[in-house]
């Protein structure tokens, strides 16, 4: 089997926002077709990392995407405007004029064409997340950056968001970088994991890397704080 090509190389990444160090000394590589999970507590800089990879935040160090790589992005909790008068079709047309492509990505995430006429505000949160995934797939990206997929199950018992990602990865040869604080995702779904709490705590293959010791180091401060708080 041929070695998969490296599509992202990050070296000594440091991100400072408003003079506060958010990410320190992070280095890693992503190969085509891999699933990389970034695990860490709230405020650990996970979302900032994704946005930095997208080129939204300034940084020190090196971020090197393979030339011509296309990136799709599914942000965390897009403020959901319940009564915004916009149909799903119009939402997609903010990104592409190609109607066939819109139908195609919609089908990929398991929606019928008739869905296009629906109002964005009519969707359940699970459906909405799927629409955002479809939106990210417009333009046929090589990489999907996904911020905190929610694990909630749809009432209709459709495939979970992880089954969907698994399928997309196979069908579209997608590389996936996702952010989560959900441990089960790391073990079931990832090839590589980075435990991040501003600085990387551990990184490698999930089974070898995510040990109880590493976890207590990653979430340790939070637990201590919690006990302290209840001591009063």
Partner 1 sequence: MVTNFFSILISGIFVGGAAGYLGSLMLSKKMTIIVDPLSHLALPGVALALIFQKDISLGAFFFLFFGAILIWFFEQKTKLPTETIIAILFSISLAITFLFLSEHEIEEALVGDISKIGKLDSLIIVFISLFVFFLIQKIYPKLTLISISEDLAMAEKIDLRKYQFLYLLSISAIVALGVKFVGGLLVAGLTALPAASAKNLSKNLKTFRFLSCLFGILCAIFGISLFQFTGYPAGPLIVLSGFLIFLISIIFKK
Sheet holding 71-74, edge to edge: 71-74, 143-147, 175-180, 35-39, 192-197, 199-204
- Does 41 help bind partner 1 (rule: CB under 8 A)? no
Return the residues of window 124-163 that contact partner 1 according to CB under 8 A: 135
- Does 79 help bind partner 1 (rule: CB under 8 A)? yes
Q: Which stretch binds partner 1 (CB under 8 A): 7-15, 76-84, 174-182, 194-202?
A: 76-84
Supply the minimum distance, in Å, between the C-beta of residue 51 and partner 1. Answer: 7
The correct pick among 14, 27, 87, 160 for binding partner 1 (CB under 8 A) is 87
Q: For 189, left (φ over 0), alpha (ψ -120 to 50), or beta?
A: alpha
Supply the minimum distance, in Å, between the C-beta of residue 129 and partner 1. Answer: 13
The correct pick among 4, 21, 69, 81 for binding partner 1 (CB under 8 A) is 81
The residue among 224, 231, 229, 218 whose CA lies nearest residue 43 is 218
Q: Which residues bind partner 1 (CB under 8 A)?
A: 51, 54-56, 71, 73, 75, 78-79, 81, 83-87, 89-91, 93-95, 119, 135
């Amino acid at each position: 089997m041929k070695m998969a090509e490296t599509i992202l190389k990050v070296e000594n990444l440091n991100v400072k926002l408003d003079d506060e160090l958010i990410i320190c000394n992070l280095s890693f590589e992503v190969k085509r077709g891999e699933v990389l999970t970034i695990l860490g507590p709230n405020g650990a800089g996970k979302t900032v990392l994704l946005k930095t990879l997208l080129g939204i935040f300034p940084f020190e160090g090196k971020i090197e995407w393979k030339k011509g790589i296309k990136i799709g992005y599914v942000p965390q909790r897009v403020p959901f405007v319940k009564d915004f008068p916009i149909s799903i079709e119009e939402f997609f047309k903010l990104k592409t004029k190609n109607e066939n492509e819109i139908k195609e990505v919609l089908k990929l995430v398991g929606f019928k064409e008739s869905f296009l006429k629906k109002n964005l505000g009519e969707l359940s949160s699970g459906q909405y997340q799927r629409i955002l995934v479809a939106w990210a797939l417009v333009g046929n990206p090589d990489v999907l950056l996904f911020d905190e997929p929610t694990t909630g199950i749809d009432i209709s018992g459709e495939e979970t968001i992880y089954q969907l990602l698994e399928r997309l990865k196979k069908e579209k040869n997608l590389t996936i970088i996702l952010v989560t604080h959900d441990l089960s995702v790391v073990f079931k779904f990832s090839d590589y994991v980075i435990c991040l709490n501003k600085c990387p705590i551990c990184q490698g293959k999930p089974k070898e890397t995510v040990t109880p010791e590493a976890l207590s180091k990653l979430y340790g401060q939070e637990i201590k704080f919690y006990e302290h708080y209840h001591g009063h």
